[in-house]
Structure 1
Amino acid sequence: MATSDPTVKTTAAVDETGVETDTILQTRGLRKQFGGLTATDDVDFGIDEGELRCLIGPNGAGKSTFLKLLTGRLEPTAGSIYYDGDEIGHLPSHERVSRGISMKFQVPSIYPDLSVRENLRIPLQRIADPDTFEQRTRETLERFHLEGTADETAANLSHGQQQRLEIAMAMTLEPTLMLLDEPVAGLSVEETAEVADLLRTINAEDDVAFVVIEHDIDFVETIADQVTVLHDGAIFREGSIEDVRNDPAVKRIYLGEEE
C-alpha cells in the first residue's frame, strides 16, 4: 500500500499503480528488440481504472508487439510493466490472467469443436461456485446474446458471434483490465456496432478498463475515452479522438493524408 510517510519506502510498482493512484497499468521504458530491430521503443504508457483506451497506428508501428509484452507472450528487452501495485513483467500469461487481466486476440481463440455453452464453462469452472455454475452460464449466454446458439458448435457461428463468444469467455473471469486486438476486424457494419455497444456496456456497468488495438478509426471514435498513437515502436501522440484525428502529423503517418 502506498503511504504518505516519507520514512517508509515503497516500490515503484506501488507508487505507479498502488491503491492511492487511479492508474491500473503503467509501463516505463518498455522496449523490445529482435536482433537489430527495435519493435517497441522505450514506451511509457498508462491507463486508469475503468478507462477505455484505443491504441492505433500504421502497420508496423509496434502495436501487436506491445500487446504481447503486456500479456506475457513476449519478454521485454528492457523496462517495466506495473499493474495494480505489482511489477508483472516477469510473470507468465496465466498468472497475469489470475491477477485480473483478460486477453482477446484478433483470431478468436475459442474451442471450435465444443458448443457455445461448453466454451463458456471452461473459464467459468475456474471461478464459479458449483452451486451457481449453471446460473452463471445462463446469465452469460443471455448477456452476450448467445442464448439462441448455446448448443451450437462454436465452429458454426458467424465471425461476429465468435468474437462475442470470446469476449464473453474473457468476461467470465471477472477481469479489471481487458486487452483486445482488433475486435472488429472482418465484421460487418452491424456486427461492428454490436461490439461497440457491448464494450461500452461492459466498461460502464462492470468498471472494466480496456486497451483496444484497432485500425477502424470510425469504431475508435465511437468507444474511446483517450487514444494513443504508436509510430516506429514509440508513442507518437496521445489525446482525445478529436485531437488525434485532427492532428496533421497523425493524418500523415496514420491516415495517409498530406498536411
Structure 2
Amino acid sequence: MGASDPTVKTKPAVAETGADTDTLLQTRDLRKQFGGLTATDDVDFGVAEGELRCLIGPNGAGKSTFLNLITGQLEPTDGAIYYDGWEITDLSSHERVDRGISMKFQVPSIYPGLTVRENLRVPLQQVADPSEFDERIAIAVDRFGLADHVDESSSALSHGQQQRLEIAMAMTLEPKLMLLDEPVAGLSLEETEEIADLLRTINDEDDVAFIVIEHDIDFVESIADRVTVLHQGDIFTEGTIESVRNDPDVRRIYLGEEE
C-alpha cells in the first residue's frame, strides 16, 4: 500500500512517527466506548523504535482493550493511531500485520491439531518463499528451544513451550512491533525466566519493539525499559520501573496497598 493510497492519511502520521522521529507508534486521544462504559479514555501513548515497554494496571484498567485497538481487533470510538510514518486507525488487522505489527494473546493461539513445524509454516506463507521454509523453521525451533519437538503435535507441548511456539510464529512475520498480553501467565519461575531472556534477546538482536501487558511485577522489572500504568482507561503515570514501583499512588491502585 503506497503513499498514494487514499485510505492512508500521512501528514500527521509523518510528524508523529516519520523518519525524522524515533517514535514507532503513537496514539492520540484514543478512546473506546462500549455503550456507557469508557474502556480507554483519550489515551496519548508512544513507543520508540526498539523499546521494550511494559503496560501494567489493575484489572479493568483497559489494557487488553488498548492492545486490541492497536492491532485492529477493535475499532476506536475516537482518536488516531500512527505507526512508522502512517496513520493506521482505519486499517484492518491483516494490513497492520503486513506493516510489521504482531500480537501474542494471553491464551496461546496455536493450531493444536498441527505439529510445531506445521504451525510455523502458517505465518511463513505470508512472508517467505516455500523454498525457504525448511531453513527458516530449523532456525526458529533452535532459537526458541523447540528443536526436539518440531514434529510433535503442538497440543502435546507444555504451556511454556506453547508460549514460546506462539512467539516464534509471531517472529516469523518479521515484525517491528510485537504486542504481548500476559506472556508468562501460568508459567513456573523457570519458564518465566526463560521468556524474559527470550524477549530481551529478541529486543537486542532483532531490534523489535515490544508492548507487554503483565501482572507479574518481578517479570516487568526484569525486562522493561519503561513502564506505563493504566488506570480507569487512561495513563496514570509513566517512568522507569524503579520510579513506578516506588510511587505510593501506584502501589495503592495496582498493589492494593494502603497509605
Q: CA offsets per residue over residues 63-82 of structure 1, 9 Å max, x none?
A: 01101101101100000000
Letter in 2 for 1:251: R
Find the counterpart in structure 1 of residue 123 from structure 2: 123
Find the counterpart in structure 2 of residue 132 from structure 1: 132
2: CA distance between counterparts of 1:178 and 1:221?
19
Q: CA offsets per residue over residues 84-123 of structure 1, 9 Å max, x none?
A: 0111011110110000000000010000000001100111
2: CA distance between counterparts of 1:37 and 1:140?
42
Q: How does 1:1-259 map to 2 (within 5 A)?
A: 11-259=11-259
Letter in 1 for 2:12: A
Letter in 2 for 1:152: E
**Runs ≥4 residues deviating over 4 A:** none
Q: CA offsets per residue over residues 145-202 of structure 1, 9 Å max, x none?
A: 1000001100110000000000000000100000000000000000000000000000
Letter in 2 for 1:86: W
Letter in 1 for 2:219: F
Bigger Cα displacement from structure 2, 199-208 vs 128-137: 128-137
Letter in 2 for 1:119: N
Q: CA offsets per residue over residues 195-239 of structure 1, 9 Å max, x none?
A: 000000000000000000000000000000000000000000100
Secondary structure of the corresponding residue to residue 39 of structure 1: strand
- Note the C-alpha offset of 1:258: 1.6
Percent sequence identity over matched residues?
Answer: 77
Secondary structure of the corresponding residue to residue 126 of structure 2: coil
Secondary structure of the corresponding residue to residue 125 of structure 1: helix
Q: TM-score, normalised by structure 1?
A: 0.95
- Note the C-alpha offset of 1:130: 3.0
Bigger Cα displacement from structure 2, 125-134 vs 215-224: 125-134
1: CA distance between counterparts of 2:131 and 2:160?
31
Unpaired segments ≥5 residues, structure 2? 1-9
2: CA distance between counterparts of 1:121 and 1:70?
25
2: CA distance between counterparts of 1:77 and 1:239?
28
Unpaired segments ≥5 residues, structure 1? 1-9
- Note the C-alpha offset of 1:132: 2.2
- Note the C-alpha offset of 1:129: 2.6
Letter in 2 for 1:227: V
